[in-house]
Structure 1
Amino acid sequence: MPSANSTSNPLDLVQRPRRLRRMAALRRMVQETQLTVNDLIYPVFVMEGEDKKEEIVSMPDCYRYTLDLLVKEVADAYNLGINAIALFPLVADEKKDNQGTEGYNPEGLVQRSIRTIKKEVPEIVVITDVALDPFSSYGHDGIVEDGVILNDETVAVLVKMSVSQAEAGADMVAPSDMMDGRIGAIRAGLDDAGYTDVGIIAYSAKYASAYYGPFRDALESAPKFGDKKTYQMDPGNTDEAMKEVELDIEEGADIVMVKPALAYMDIIRRVKEYSDVPVAAYNVSGEYAMIKAAAQKGWIDEKKIVLETLTSMKRAGADLILTYFAKQVALMLK
């Protein structure tokens, strides 16, 4: 009978995958998907005023900043290696109307923010949101007439908004409205105005999702009636997502996006397999809030969950990830 110290082995295995898991250095060497700071885009919220920041109740550790403090936040992000921000404004109710005219005001909050950020942190990529909902008295992404969201009339406003943001210094515009034909119209409008170098990140597969709730709290932009299902996509659809992506690429999108990310990994994978442009995924506010809430309860290890979650998005095919965890992740990766 073999002794307890016998080297004999009943398993005749040529392949032993655990050999490559034995040491941390080996695991790092063969890691297939690596999350880096270059993958991150940091969404930030700006509001009017001076020397104020307000925590968003449903998004712990996430703040609205007045422009003077936002510039410092952006500089901190850039110094951590984050290459891009996505800018979202909190607009006063008195400046909202059905046509979203404040969205293309050359002295509006967005335009002033772009100019200031590009002056103080010139190398960071400034991405601006293109949609009516922050500027709409109805909280919808388009012009409303008799309870209907008008498509073509809205697109005309989106073009004005995009050109105004480009004039202020935006590096990329990101139409998040899901109106038909807006990518082609915006590309033509930017080119006609001489902004051929300004890129377009298209929210191509944007779903009518319940994961957006905290974001709407942040911007006080929830729709005043109905929902957004006539323009955002049904969560049950995948082929429709591919149609939207195909159209946006044909119309001139430089990057296409899937939003939300966590519940739509299959969409990210399909888009990545199809697309010949980079694919972005938006790790949205509801996804952020769920992790924060569970971490505050002590139910999960926040840092490990965040890294695993974002790595899984990249593994699914995302080249870029918009995430409110960007600064935290940048610090962890350092």
Structure 2
Amino acid sequence: MIKRNRRLRERKEIRDLVRETTLSVKDLIFPIFVVEGENIKEEISSLPGTYHYSIDRLEEVVEEVKSSGIRGIILFGLPEHKDSFASSAYDDNGVVQRAIRKIKELHKDLWIITDVCMCQYTNHGHCGIVEDSRIINDKSVEIIAKISVSHARAGADMIAPSDMMDGRVKAIRKALDKEGYESVSIMSYSAKYSSAFYGPFREAAHSTPQFGDRKTYQMDPGNIKEAMREIEGDIEEGADIIMVKPALSYLDIIRWAKDRFDYPIAAYSVSGEYALIKAAAEKGLVDEKAIALEMLLSIKRAGADIIITYYALQAAEWIKEDF
């Protein structure tokens, strides 16, 4: 007897009924870039359809997020002042801190995640304190914890350290608890690879290193076991959610993490993934909607519970259209 698997592909109705993996608006987190200044909404040239917003223009994008059904955002800040120890990053009147307060005024139920790093705030563009051209781990961790507390004080719901310094999750958890922010959670960039897919983001965040690269703290793309050690360590230190970044070229890492750890997993579909599709779609080489949704579905299928993507707003509309 022939096994006729095609019977369950005959029409869209049956295909939808037997689909094993589904993509939901509830899976998506939308990144927002906030800048100093007034009346600014400027498209980021490396990320078409993505914008820099000044705080007074945040209402527009917050309303878009709210109407889309997306539950959460992740904030990235671009300060006016940069120095060697990222002082703008932990300023209670800094750009991210003010943005958090503004967004909570506009939409108190929106889940606000803040990217915690130093690269946008340092004059050398690295994710930590630099001495003699070396990134000093423990001094950097002290600053990362300080930034985290300032974000929590402003009203952030979740802290997302992206620096990849050793021991930063433990330091952040200890600092948050000490200041009375036990309910503020941590989504750690646990397996963050040193990837060529970050190029468009570095333009968007003005965070390109002024010397060297980030290979001494971000992970080697060839390593799987190391990623599992990093994830396990962050869980032990108190992370509530672990993240794999980038997503598309590291679907195997997402699956390994899903199979090994009974923990919520986030995946960051990064700027390079988004920009490549945008460029191909502009040339008419691909169907943008179809390929973007296929990419996001593959990330979900690999095991991600949460997907951070620049396509979040568009994907939310596309998902609604399909129902």
- Scaled by the length of structure 1, the TM-score of the pair is 0.95
Matching residue of 1:208: 194
Residue 172 (1) aligns with residue 152 (2): no
Residue 50 (1) aligns with residue 72 (2): no
Do 1:90 and 1:218's aligned partners in 2 also have CA atoms closer than 8 Å? Answer: no
Residue 162 (1) aligns with residue 148 (2): yes
Matching residue of 1:325: 311
- 2:275 maps to a residue whose letter is A
Matching residue of 1:273: 259
Do 2:46 and 2:203's aligned partners in 1 also have CA atoms closer than 8 Å? Answer: yes
- 2:13 maps to a residue whose letter is A
Matching residue of 2:67: 79
What SS does structure 2 have at the residue aligned with 1:224?
coil
Residue 23 (1) aligns with residue 11 (2): yes
What SS does structure 2 have at the residue aligned with 1:293?
helix
Matching residue of 1:217: 203
Matching residue of 1:3: none
Residue identity over aligned pairs, in percent, reads 57
Matching residue of 1:99: 85
What SS does structure 2 have at the residue aligned with 1:227?
coil
Do 1:173 and 1:199's aligned partners in 2 also have CA atoms closer than 8 Å? Answer: yes
Do 2:62 and 2:106's aligned partners in 1 also have CA atoms closer than 8 Å? Answer: no
What SS does structure 2 have at the residue aligned with 1:155?
helix
Deviations 1:13-56 (A, max 9, x none): 2x211111111110000000000000000001011122221111
Kindly tell me the number of residue pairs found equivalent between the two proteins: 320
Residue 243 (1) aligns with residue 233 (2): no
What SS does structure 2 have at the residue aligned with 1:113?
helix
What SS does structure 2 have at the residue aligned with 1:45?
strand
In structure 1, the gaps of 5 or more residues are 1-11
Give the aligned CA root-mean-square deviation in angstroms.
0.7
- 1:131 maps to a residue whose letter is C
Deviations 1:198-241 (A, max 9, x none): 00000000000010010010011100000000000000000000
- Pairing 1:175-194 to 2, within 5 Å after superposition: 175-194=161-180
Give the drift of 1:71: 2.6
Partners of 2:60 and 2:184 in 1: CA distance: 25
Deviations 1:277-310 (A, max 9, x none): 2100000000000000000000000000010000
Do 1:74 and 1:85's aligned partners in 2 also have CA atoms closer than 8 Å? Answer: no
Matching residue of 1:35: 23
Q: Which has the larger radius of gyration?
A: 1
Do 2:159 and 2:187's aligned partners in 1 also have CA atoms closer than 8 Å? Answer: yes
Do 2:266 and 2:308's aligned partners in 1 also have CA atoms closer than 8 Å? Answer: yes
- 1:25 maps to a residue whose letter is E
In structure 2, the gaps of 5 or more residues are none
What SS does structure 1 have at the residue aligned with 2:268?
strand
Give the drift of 1:153: 0.3
Do 2:71 and 2:110's aligned partners in 1 also have CA atoms closer than 8 Å? Answer: yes
Do 1:42 and 1:324's aligned partners in 2 also have CA atoms closer than 8 Å? Answer: yes
Give the drift of 1:75: 2.1
Partners of 2:51 and 2:121 in 1: CA distance: 20
Partners of 2:55 and 2:310 in 1: CA distance: 18
- 1:64 maps to a residue whose letter is H
